[in-house]
Chain A
Amino acid sequence: MAKAVSPGVQALRKVVDDVYADARKAKAEGKLVGWSSSKFPCELAEAFDLNVMYPENQAAGIAANRDGEIMCQAAEDLGYDNDICGYARISLAYAAGKRASRKFDPETLEYIIDPKSGKPLKDADGKVVIDPETGKPKKDPKTMQPYTVLDDIYEIEALPETTEKERAYKNFRREAIKPYRQMRMPQPDFVLCCNNICNCMTKWYENIARMRNIPLIMIDIPYNNTVEVHDTNVAYVRAQFDAAIKQLEEITGKKFDEKKFEQACANANRTAQAWLRVCDYLQYKPAPYSGFDLFNHMADVVTARGKVAAAEAFELLEKDLAEQVKTGATTTPFPEQYRVMFEGIPCWPKLPNLFKPLKANGVNVTAVVYAPAFGFVYDDLDGMCRAYYKAPNSVCIEQGVDWREGICRANKVDGVLVHYNRSCKPWSGYMAEMQRRFTADLGVPCAGFDGDQADPRNFNEAQYETRVQGLVEAMEANKAAKEAAAK
């Protein structure tokens, strides 16, 4: 039976579905569709009524659908090094036309099922059915999938369609591309890049622009060595906003609509405020939901923060949470024994493996840095420049530590689990020092593990489980010592 989902969560899911559906519709109608980095000022694109898609969100979805590896490999075959961010590799492969597709027989046009795929078959009592011949669990045929192969949309489009057989083959090959929304995102007509979120982004978007021969709007945010965003920094960004508006006017052939821009800013502020309030619910003990849910809701903050629907959906979720707190209900499927901050992007292809030892040990994620990192509120255009100057990887270590320690204290964590993400060198690089400070300042143990946000080849389950178990044992010892000292 499917898990019951609250109205707020349903609304949030619809917001993201609509972003993708609207972009597909716009593309079909011959309108311009853009790709944007997650922390590009979406307010500018909204002022031009542009349909914009988000490759980071797309790559996370592709990775969670277990197609990260085939897409990363496709990018490597195109010449991109496997040390480059997994999101970038997936996105570059996608921009080049590569797609994860279902294997089929070209003669019969039938899918070829992978016998290793599928979930175990369960009987009426929910028990796994064992095959008497093999002694192993039987597979549920409904959940079995065809083999995954790599395809190329440009190769498909170049196929001949003179005979009926050729047309049928071409159509089936189009159909065989995985049907989930992230694998069916329209190709871009322009790209919007703000490198505040990471530096790899600059070359990633330059490559897409060159590959597709489309305009690139770049907003450069240098790494800030101070907590304060100085007036000169603001002037530098403000000038780039002005240039971006001019470029967008040229691309769209429209004049910048100040009213629409103001409305988008108001929406973005309203979304950010609601997002922050939703994040604050993690302060409750036990928390009404898990930080892992927040990772899912991130899609809305990334893809739709300038839309009123996103603000409304977060406000609805806030109401759901207020009710949950009253009744003590939680979406966390186990009793909360320990509360941790999960630092970094999750390993999307290995989400169940990531969750398993946490669930087994009663560890709930009650803090993630995304709360302050995306909850930015501003009053005017200069304030907006300052807000976009602050992203997880563009702020100095003091600001980064302050953000994290603030939520760790407010959300009452017992420990910190750090993902040393092979895809994200800027984020992982300073984590060793941050870990040291968390233990010194907060008096909680920290454990780090190696992984990757999109490439499953960089994650080892056994190593991860040992580190989580070690963290749990250290948190247990820490709690016991604190309780003994209190007596």
Chain B
Amino acid sequence: MSIYTLGIDIGSTASKCVMLKDGRDIVSKSLIAVGAGTSGPQRAIAQVLESAGMKREDMDYVLATGYGRNSLEGVADHQMSELSCHGKGAAFLFPEVHTVIDIGGQDVKVLQVENGVMTNFVMNDKCAAGTGRFLDVMARVLEVKVEDLGTLGAQSTKYVGISSTCTVFAESEVISQLAMDTDKRDIINGIHKSVASRVAGLAHRVGIRDQVVMTGGVAQNTGVVKALEEALGHTIHTSPLTQYNGALGAALFGYQRYLKEHQA
């Protein structure tokens, strides 16, 4: 009989679920673009179960992670930090991984992974610079969609430095560039380099070893990935499942815990 585990990752800006069969096959997944403290978690859970045609009771183990992990009392069997879950998810997708860079809505984390397990980490301090929120703010000022930033930045022909490391001040820097008629694509490229420089500083603190894997929503932005590759001097691997990586790790840990509890 198959074992079904559900991983739920409630982030600050999105709720993600991944359902796994036997700790190996992804049965279904869901993503709702609002996170902790909203209807997002319940909707994401309902969606992932519905698309698999299953119920909560059919799940052998449910593990919650992310900023809102402790808000799922009665739903989740266990909670773990998103740090371990991102390490686990990345190691499932890229077995040779040693460094995971996760840029989420409000935090940046760099994980050291050994044999698929997180052994050390660093996170950003209380500052939104370099996070997904930073890019959201910039996209709004530039009147472009956040998902178009990567494509637009790739068309840049001129270097424009965004020097500030503070989201609020960087925003005013971008506004003054716009006032000077600077090409939006060059500004976007400058923003990507600014994010990369901030994240690279953090990554150097924990140490960078190949393979380097980037997860979280910002990994979908090819401009940030490229700028980060240049800043680090390492190839960065990403997956189409990047946004689901934390939930995937949670489902994998859920499977491990289920086996351990039932063996015992």
Instruction: Please report A residues at the B interface, Cβ cutoff 8 Å.
Output: 420, 432, 435-436, 439, 445-448, 450, 458, 460, 462-463, 466-467, 469-470, 473-474, 477-478, 480-481
Contacts and interface: CB of A to CB of B under 8 A. Distances in A.
Interface string B3-30: 0000000000000000000000000000
A46 B67 CA distance: 53
Interface in B110-132: 114-115, 117-123, 125-126
Contacts of A446: 120
A188 to B, nearest CB: 35
A450 B125 contact: yes
A455 to B, nearest CB: 13
Contacts of B123: 448, 463, 466-467, 470
A473 B69 CA distance: 15
13 contacts: A420-B125, A435-B122, A435-B205, A445-B121, A448-B122, A450-B125, A460-B126, A462-B67, A466-B82, A466-B83, A470-B118, A477-B117, A480-B117
Contacts, number: 59
Nearest to B253: A473
B222 interface: no
Interface of B: 67, 80-84, 107, 114-115, 117-123, 125-126, 205, 207
A421 B83 CA distance: 22
B85 to A, nearest CB: 9
Contacts of B117: 477, 480-481
A41 B122 CA distance: 39
A445 B112 CA distance: 10
Nearest to B80: A473
B84 A470 contact: yes
B83 A477 contact: no
A478 B119 contact: yes
Given A458-B126, A460-B126, A463-B126, A445 B82 contact: no
Nearest to A469: B81
B67 A481 contact: no
Given A458-B126, A463-B126, A477 B118 contact: yes
B255 to A, nearest CB: 16
A469 B120 contact: no
Contacts of B67: 462, 466
A277 B16 CA distance: 52
A447 B126 CA distance: 14
Tell me which of A436, A467, A470 has the highest count of chain B C-beta atoms within 10 A of its own C-beta: A470
5 A-B pairs closest in CB distance:
A470-B83, A469-B81, A477-B117, A473-B84, A445-B120
Contacts of A477: 84, 114, 117-119
Contacts of A466: 67, 81-83, 123
A450 B126 contact: yes
Given A458-B126, A466-B81, A466-B83, A474 B205 contact: no
A367 B254 CA distance: 34
A439 B120 contact: yes
A474 B114 contact: no
A447 B120 CA distance: 8
A290 to B, nearest CB: 23
A140 to B, nearest CB: 26
Contact of A474 (B115, B118, B207): B118
Contacts of B207: 436
Contacts of B81: 466, 469-470, 473
A432 B123 CA distance: 11
A447 B205 contact: no
A268 B248 CA distance: 58
Contacts of A447: 121
Contacts of A480: 117
Nearest to A436: B205
Contacts of B118: 470, 473-474, 477
B16 to A, nearest CB: 17
Given A466-B67, A473-B83, A445 B119 contact: yes
Contact of B120 (A450, A463, A467, A474): A474
Contacts of B126: 450, 458, 460, 463
Contacts of A436: 205, 207
A474 B80 CA distance: 12
B122 to A, nearest CB: 7
Contact of A481 (B83, B114, B121): B114
B119 A474 contact: yes
A470 B121 contact: yes
A420 B114 CA distance: 26
A421 to B, nearest CB: 11
A175 B13 CA distance: 49
A55 to B, nearest CB: 27
Nearest to A471: B121
Given A466-B67, A466-B83, A481-B115, A474 B121 contact: yes
Contacts of A462: 67
A446 B120 CA distance: 7
Contacts of B125: 420, 450
B28 to A, nearest CB: 27
Nearest to A473: B84
Contacts of A439: 120
A458 B125 CA distance: 11
Contacts of B115: 481
Nearest to B116: A477
Contacts of B83: 466, 469-470, 473-474
A458 B123 CA distance: 16
A311 to B, nearest CB: 41
